[in-house]
Each structure stands twice: as structure tokens, then as C-alpha cells.
């Protein structure tokens, strides 16, 4: 078992004829993912390295039984692309696109939820389960199959940390990059139950950032419902209030969303909180060892 993706995942890449779309379609396939279709309106009948391109998600689903979408469509058109995937019956949409207005994302989130589709992202690296499937853009080289789950709000920092876990001689069960925007389709609280019930996950690494209260909400869930060991890290301890730190969601406003409150909440929930990224692999090795006993 794994979380949200597995060997039955069949990916349609929306925006496959763009540069990022084609590069990552290839890398997903190299990871072992069934990339079955691409969509770019007006490009039906062509292919991208053997992956057939369709005009609409509906056509792609009808012809290839795609059941997950990876969206690379530029921000002004991303809302439409997501709604199209939802209406075509896709149940998992990874939105890689960044800079989607949050007003658009509010509509996307509530529409998808009403129709039973899970969104990961936007502005996210996606999801990967080594040996099974990847929907998104996390570099293949950082993974090796294993029993550590990862949930992160970051992109490259996730790669860094997942890579560190690998270099420690441990592997990952599933890794989800939630995305750094103020409104995301899947938050820590939404993702944690999947890892709790996943028999292939022994321990969890949670990577948060300043801004919002998603980490505090996640900590609350961990305290009451999560039985596996958790190692956490919060980026942005040195960030000044009121500065937007690269991610739209990473901002301390009116005293809310500081690293201190997040670290305190996670420690109170029993998580081991690393002060620096390079402490994570050691802590993971410790808790993973203890959970096997």
C-alpha cells in the first residue's frame, strides 16, 4: 500500500506540450509512473515522446482511463484546467502551477471537494511513492523505497530532506509536497490520516514553514490521532514579521504564523522537532529504530 498513488495510477499531463510539461512527463515515466495521456487544446493527434495528446481531459479519460492529473498549465488558465479535470471524473489533481490567484483557488478547492476530487497544490512539487508512482516534479534521484513518510509545505527543501533520509540509508514510503500558497487543496491535517492508516509507513517527517496555522492544526491532529513517531522541522525561524518569504503563504501577519508557536505546538504533540534540516536524518533514524521495536 501507499498514499494516494500506487501502481494503478494512470496520469494525464495537462499542458504536456509546454517545456516543463514534457520534461516532467518524461521524468514521471522514468520513475515508473504510467503516464498515459497529455492534454493541450488544439494539439490532439500529436504525441510527446510516445504519449498521446488530446484536446480535452474528457477525451483523454475516455481513451486512456487516466485517473490522475498533473497540471502545468499557466496560472491564468489553471482554474479552467482544474475544473475540466474534475468534470472529467479525475479524482487526484496535482497542481504544479505557481502564482494562481487565491480567489481562483477558493473556487477550485470548493468545486473539487464537492465533486470528490482531491487537489494537491497549487505551487507544489507533487506526490511520489518510490517503486510505484510519481505525480509531480520531485527529482527522481532523491528517492529510494522505504518506510518513512514525508509531508512538506516546501519544494526544494523537501528534496534536500528526502535526499538526506536516503543518504542515512533509509527510504521513503510516500512523500507529499503540499505547496506554499495561502490556500492549498491538501493541508497537513488532510494528509496525516493517510499516513496513519498506511501499513507501509513507520514514521513521518513533517516540514512546515512560517505563515498561517496549518502546522498548529496538524500538531493538534497528531496529538489526538497520530500514533506513529513524527520528526518535524519549521523553516523561517529568522524571518522578520510582515515580509513575504518567497512563498505567498510564508508571511508572519499580525503576530500570527511564527515559527515559535508552530515548534511549540509540535513539541507539545510529541514530535521531535529538528532545529536545522541537517538534524532531520539522524532524528528520523532514531525514531524509525524505536518504532520497529
Partner 1 sequence: MVKLAEWQGKGVFRKYGIPLPRGEVARSADEAETLVRTGKVPLPCVVKAQVLAGGRGKGGAVRFANTPEEVRAAAASILALEFKGEKVHELLLEEKLPIGRELYLSLTLDRTQRLPLLISSPHGGVEIESVADTEIDRQTVDPFPGLTGYEKRRAAKVLGLSGTLARSLDKLLDSLWQVFQHEDAELVEINPLAIVGDGLVALDAKVIIEDDAAFRHPEYAEIRDDRTELEEIAREKEIAFVQLDGNIGVIANGAGLTMATLDVLKELGGAPGVFLDLGGTDDPKKVTEAFLLMARAKPAAVFLNIFGGVTRCDTVAKGLVEAMRQVPTSDRFPLIARIRGNNEKEGIEILRSAGVTSVSDLRASAQAAVDAAGGRA
Catalytic residues: 247
Name which of 82 and 183 has its Cβ closer to partner 1: 183
Cell of 74: 499557466
CA-nearest of 202, 238, 199, 195 to 218 is: 195
166-195 binders of partner 1 (CB under 8 A): 180, 182-183, 187
Round to whole Å and give the CA distance between 238 and 6: 38
Among 217, 261, 264, 285, binds partner 1 (CB under 8 A): 217
CA-nearest of 35, 18, 242, 286 to 148 is: 286
Phi, psi (rounded to 5 degrees) for 200: -90, -5
The CB-of-106 to partner 1 minimum distance in angstroms stands at 5
Name which of 121 and 212 has its Cβ closer to partner 1: 212
Helix ranges, 131-255 (H): 156-167, 188-196, 214-225
Q: Stretches 45-53, 84-92, 93-101, 281-289: which one binds partner 1 (CB under 8 A)?
A: 93-101
Among 109, 143, 194, 195, binds partner 1 (CB under 8 A): 109
Q: How far is CA 123 from CA 19, 153, 154, 155, 249, in A?
A: 17, 10, 9, 9, 11
Size of interface with partner 1, in residues (CB under 8 A): 62
* x-marked contacts with partner 1 along 123-162 as a string, rule CB under 8 A: --x-----------xxx-xx---------xxxxxxxxx--
Are 130 and 105 a contacting pair, CB within 8 Å? Answer: no
List residues bridging with 267 in a β-sheet: none
Name which of 232 and 239 has its Cβ closer to partner 1: 239
The CB-of-277 to partner 1 minimum distance in angstroms stands at 5
The CB-of-255 to partner 1 minimum distance in angstroms stands at 8
In this structure, which long-range contacts are made by residues 109-114, counting pairs with CB atoms below 8 Å and at least 24 apart in sequence?
A: 109/183, 109/185, 111/83, 111/86, 112/82, 112/86, 112/185
243-282 binders of partner 1 (CB under 8 A): 243-250, 254, 275-278
Among 18, 20, 41, 43, binds partner 1 (CB under 8 A): 20
The CB-of-144 to partner 1 minimum distance in angstroms stands at 15
Largest CA distance in the chain: 57
Q: How far is CA 106 from CA 83, 242, 253, in A?
A: 12, 23, 20
Q: Stretches 7-15, 30-38, 62-70, 206-214: which one binds partner 1 (CB under 8 A)?
A: 206-214
The CB-of-234 to partner 1 minimum distance in angstroms stands at 9
29-88 binders of partner 1 (CB under 8 A): 75-76
Name which of 155 and 229 has its Cβ closer to partner 1: 155
Cis peptide before 122 (omega within 30 of 0): yes
Residue 277 neighbours by CB under 8 Å, 6+ apart: 157, 160, 161, 164, 233
Are 148 and 201 a contacting pair, CB within 8 Å? Answer: yes
Q: Which residues are near partner 1 by CB under 8 A?
A: 19-20, 75-76, 98-103, 105-107, 109-110, 125, 137-139, 141-142, 152-160, 163, 180, 182-183, 187, 207, 209-210, 212-214, 217, 233, 235-240, 243-250, 254, 275-278
Amino acid at each position: 500500500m501507499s498514499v494516494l498513488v500506487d501502481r494503478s495510477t494512470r496520469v494525464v499531463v495537462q499542458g504536456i506540450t509546454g517545456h516543463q510539461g514534457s520534461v516532467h512527463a518524461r521524468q514521471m515515466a522514468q520513475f515508473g509512473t504510467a503516464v498515459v495521456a497529455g492534454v493541450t487544446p488544439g494539439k490532439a493527434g500529436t504525441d510527446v515522446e510516445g504519449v498521446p495528446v488530446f484536446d480535452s481531459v474528457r477525451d483523454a479519460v475516455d481513451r486512456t482511463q487516466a485517473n490522475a492529473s498533473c497540471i502545468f498549465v499557466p496560472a491564468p488558465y489553471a482554474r479552467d484546467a482544474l475544473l475540466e479535470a474534475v468534470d472529467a471524473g479525475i479524482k487526484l489533481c496535482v497542481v504544479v502551477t505557481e502564482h494562481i490567484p487565491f480567489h481562483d483557488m477558493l473556487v477550485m478547492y470548493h468545486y473539487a471537494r464537492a465533486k470528490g476530487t482531491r487537489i494537491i497544490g497549487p505551487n507544489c512539487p507533487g506526490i511520489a511513492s518510490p517503486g510505484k508512482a510519481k505525480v509531480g516534479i520531485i527529482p527522481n534521484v532523491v528517492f529510494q523505497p522505504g518506510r518513512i513518510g514525508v509531508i512538506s509545505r516546501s519544494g526544494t527543501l523537501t528534496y534536500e530532506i528526502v535526499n538526506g533520509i536516503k543518504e542515512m540509508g533509509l527510504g521513503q514510503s510516500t512523500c507529499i509536497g503540499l505547496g506554499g500558497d495561502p490556500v492549498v487543496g491538501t493541508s497537513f491535517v488532510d494528509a496525516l490520516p493517510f499516513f496513519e492508516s498506511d501499513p507501509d509507513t513507520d514514521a513521518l517527517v513533517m516540514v512546515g514553514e512560517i505563515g498561517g496555522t496549518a502546522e498548529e492544526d496538524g500538531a493538534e491532529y497528531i496529538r489526538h490521532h497520530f500514533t506513529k513517531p513524527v520528526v518535524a522541522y519549521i523553516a523561517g525561524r529568522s524571518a522578520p514579521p510582515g515580509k513575504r518569504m518567497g512563498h505567498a503563504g510564508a508571511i508572519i501577519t499580525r503576530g500570527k504564523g511564527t515559527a515559535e508557536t508552530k515548534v511549540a505546538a509540535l513539541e507539545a504533540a510529541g514530535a521531535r522537532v529538528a532545529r536545522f534540516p541537517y538534524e532531520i536524518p539522524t532524528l528520523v533514524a532514531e525514531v524509525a529504530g524505536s518504532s520497529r521495536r
